[in-house]
Structure 1
Amino acid sequence: MCYYEKRLKTCLNVLQEESRDLLHFHKNIPFVEVEENNERWIWNVYREYVAKNMPVVIKNACRNWKATKLWSVDYFLEKIPDKDVTVAITPNGYADGLIDVTNNDSHTEFFVMPEERTMKMTEFLNNMTAPKDNFVCYIQKQNSNLLDDFKELINDVDIELNWAQQLFARKPDAVNFWMGDKRAVTSMHKDPYENMYCVINGHKDFILIPPTDLPHVPYKYYPVGTFKNVTPSGYEIEPKLNDSVGDFVVKTTPPINSCQERIKKKPENCKYEMLNWIAVDPLNPKTDLYPNFRKTNVYNVRINEGDCLYLPSLWFHHVQQSHACIAVNYWYDMDFDIKYCYYKMLECLS
């Protein structure tokens, strides 16, 4: 290791230590209570958490919604049984995650996206009440699907979320509906959005890592594929071949629901479209391969029914849930201010 590499490593360690001591929580993610007829709690959330890009649990934020009182498998069977819904289907629960693919005695780790199928809500709900092995269903479309695909349910929630609009001085870019199997897992990633995540039924378990720990979160290039023909007895993975011109992979602009970071440069001699993705699973981090991951500040928090998590932009997060858990989240575009500029510099240095 040369002098400059040592110097850079020292600087990154200083950032990690100073941020841990001065910015981050020492134990648990804190919580605040909603105060009816008193807006002081909103400004306290802004001052102590939003302005500092720090997460907080907002207790009882959606406790009084009609959705929290009504939404369930039985309610949806009565209310929208014949509705066509888009469902993400995987054999292992990992939509947008890593899977080892064996082909002719060789092993390649792929980043694999879910198979998307349109089915009646009744069929989806039957998969909640009688789940099948190797067939995991999750409504997770993320393209503001509550507003576009579930218009019948809009009046059951606070669609404006006025107190959050006060925090961010803007309306949400997207309002998303989530419901799925307890085996469904959201692999660790980060988003360029301020996220208000409201749990309507059941609970969600989040693993959070602050953006200042980026140097200790390993990334690797992975070929991209999609699950196809998923059944309880098997599945296929369809690789995405790249269409390259010179050194650049031709890509379309990722949609609003994309939490993937498309790379512009491809590894040499690679026939697949490639993705720069987090190499570590926080449930099984394999710190023998990625020892620096031990340095990260890892927070575990459960969001219960009626509560909301403020998940700041660029925080790494991994999510699990109870069975048939229902949630609604609101995405607000982040401020691309000096914090973002420093983060981009940290990306280049890591």
Structure 2
Amino acid sequence: MENPGEMKQISVVHGVDKETFNTEIYPKRWPVVLRGLDLGPCQTNWTVQYLCEAGGSQDVKVHVSPSAKMDFINKNYAYRTLPFDELVRRASKPRQEEYFFEPDELYYLRALGNDPRKDIADINTQFPSLAGDINIPDFVPQDKLFSSVLRLGSPGVQLWTHYDVMDNILLQVKGHKRAVLFSPQDATYLYLNGDKSTILDIDNPDLEKYPEFMKATPYECHLEPGDVLFIPALWFHNVQALEFSIAVNIFWKHLEAKQYDPKDTYGNKDPQAAARALQIMRRAVKCLEELPEEYRDFYGRRMVMEIENKTYMKDGKDGNT
């Protein structure tokens, strides 16, 4: 069986300052690994012992799974609550003496707001004793800042492929990590369910089930401790912790604030205009179901043609620097 699209490498740029980022990197809307930035004392301080002591025993909700490939759609994991220091100790070990399901279970934390239904994740609020150790790069626009998310995972944990609607940077503080990204223009090849791809294994996909995936172009990078990955809004990403991993994810609004859903605490709801358009599209498809097959086919193709003509970018370019 043929292999998916040839893997390309994401560029690594050293010593980027605010002006360079804002004039040469950000406008291209292309992912880049920024290396050599000063992320602050976290790079040396955040040992297992330090995290346990400074982070304390506050309860956090974590994903617990027997599988390294976590599947949001089919839910091959369970949510459990652990004291933060206990989570750090467990996630940093390959095998557990105390466990929920089995000794080899894996853990993943995506920190939440104090009340996830109302509060946005903010490391300064949820983990104030750790927040002071981090230098947020000065190119992050403070007036558009949305959230700062602490992420922590067991070795091997791999998250499902998905996109975010805001720009973000992933500050890889501890551990090596692999990231594979896909352009927004590859959306039609990724078999989406909402903002997530249904293809769980992107390295060995079932191409009989997902034949269009062959047309997608994956972009890969290996993050070292201290690296910063810029992920523009709408870029699909699949991230795997190669070691015990600690990272901080900073999200900010690329569009005007009024474009976003004001009730979105996770930063993953489609812009309001896009959400309305998708709703209208689903109603239109429902209307076509009233027609015989050949008519559905004909008018469906007309709809697709009009959408392509009115909305598709005509000259998608490889903006990799």
The CA distance in 1 between the partners of 2:10 and 2:28, in whole Å, is 14
- Amino acid aligned to 1:85: V
Give the match for residue 70 of structure 1: 45
User: Are 1:182 and 2:163 an aligned pair?
Assistant: no
Q: Residue 151 of structure 1: CA displacement?
A: 1.3
Q: Which residue of 1 aligns with 2:14?
A: 33
| Alpha carbons of structure 1 residues 141 and 96: separation in structure 2 relative to 1, 3 Å | farther
Q: Give me the whole-angstrom Cα distance separating, in 2, the residues matched to 1:145 and 1:179.
A: 15
Assess if the C-alpha contact under 8 Å between 1:61 and 1:198 holds in 2. Answer: no
Instruction: State the SS of the aligned residue for 2:229.
Output: strand
Mapped pair 1:290 → 2:267: no
* Counterpart pick for 2:28 among 34, 41, 52: 52
Paired residue type of 2:255 = D
Report deviation, 1:322. Answer: 2.5
Q: Per the alignment, in what secondary structure is the counterpart of residue 189 of structure 1?
A: coil
Among 128, 140, 144, the residue aligned to 1:151? 128
Distance in 2 (alpha carbons) for counterparts of 1:115 and 1:27 = 34
Q: Which one of the candidate residues 54, 59, 81 is aligned to 1:84?
A: 59
Q: Where does residue 297 of structure 2 map in the other structure?
A: none
Aligned length: 249
Aligned residue in 2 for 1:124: 87
Code of the aligned partner of 1:82? S
Deviation at 1:311, TM superposition (A): 0.5
Distance 1:313 1:142, change over 3 A: farther
TM-score scaled by structure 2?
0.68
Q: Which amino acid aligns with 2:197?
A: I
- One of 319, 343, 346 as aligned partner of 2:239: 319
| Residues 180 and 221 in structure 2, CA contact (< 8 A), matched pair in contact too | yes
1:90–1:134 contact (8 Å) kept in structure 2: no
The answer on whether the counterparts of 1:199 and 1:306 sit within 8 Å (CA) in structure 2 is yes
Task: Please tell me whether the aligned partners of residues 62 and 198 of structure 1 are also in contact (alpha carbons under 8 angstroms).
Answer: no
Q: Any conservation in 2 of the 1:197–1:309 contact (CA below 8 Å)?
A: yes
Over aligned residues, Cα RMSD in angstroms?
3.2
Amino acid of the structure 1 residue aligned with 2:95: P
Matches of 2:53 and 2:156, distance apart in 1: 25
Structure 1: tracts of 5 or more residues without a match? 1-19, 36-40, 99-110, 221-259, 262-276
Q: 1-side partners of 2:218 and 2:278: how far apart?
A: 19
Work out the CA distance in 2 between the residues paired with 1:323 and 1:307. 15
- Work out whether residues 215 and 346 of structure 1, in 8 Å CA contact, stay in contact via their aligned partners in 2: no
Identity of aligned residues (%): 23
Deviation at 1:58, TM superposition (A): 0.8
Tell me the secondary structure at the aligned position of residue 163 of structure 1: coil
Which of 206, 210, 214 is the matching residue for 2:179? Answer: 206
Comparing both structures, which one devotes a greater share of its residues to strand? Answer: 1
Separation in 2 of the partners of 1:205 and 1:32? 17
Post-superposition shift, 1:201?
0.7
Please state how far the C-alpha of 1:214 moved relative to its aligned partner.
1.4
Shift of 1:145: 4.7
Which runs of structure 2 are paired with 1:234-249 in the superposition (5 Å)?
A: none
Within the candidate set 140, 143, 146, 2:110 is matched to 140
**1:96 deviation in Å?**
4.7
Q: How does 1:227-238 map to 2 (within 5 A)?
A: none
C-alpha displacement of 1:69 = 1.2
Aligned to 1:219: 192
1:242-266 Cα distance to aligned partner (Å, 9 max, x none): xxxxxxxxxxxxxxxxxx54xxxxx
Contact conserved, 1:179 with 1:325, CA < 8 A, in 2?
A: yes
CA distance in 1, matches of 2:34, 2:130: 23
Displacement of 1:155 in angstroms is 0.8
SS of structure 1 residue aligned to 2:179? strand
SS in 2 for 1:51: helix
Which amino acid is the alignment partner of residue 50 of structure 1? Answer: Y
How big is each residue's C-alpha offset from its partner over 1:108-146, in whole Å with a ceiling of 9 and x where there is no partner?
A: xxx317433322233213312253445211111354252
The code of the aligned residue for 1:199 comes to Q
Would the aligned equivalents of 1:214 and 1:346 in 2 still touch at CA under 8 Å? no
Q: Deviations over 1:163-189 (max 9, x none)?
A: 222xxx734200011111013211100
User: Aligned with 2:243: secondary structure?
Assistant: coil
Structure 1 residues 80 and 52: CA distance shift in structure 2, 3 A: closer
Residues 1:305 and 2:225 are matched in the alignment: yes
Deviations along 1:8-61, one digit per CA (max 9) or x if unpaired, are xxxxxxxxxxxx9xxxx99421122225xxxxx433323333212111111122
The amino acid across from 2:149 in the alignment is N
Q: CA deviation at 1:209?
A: 0.4
CA distance in 2, matches of 1:291, 1:207: 19
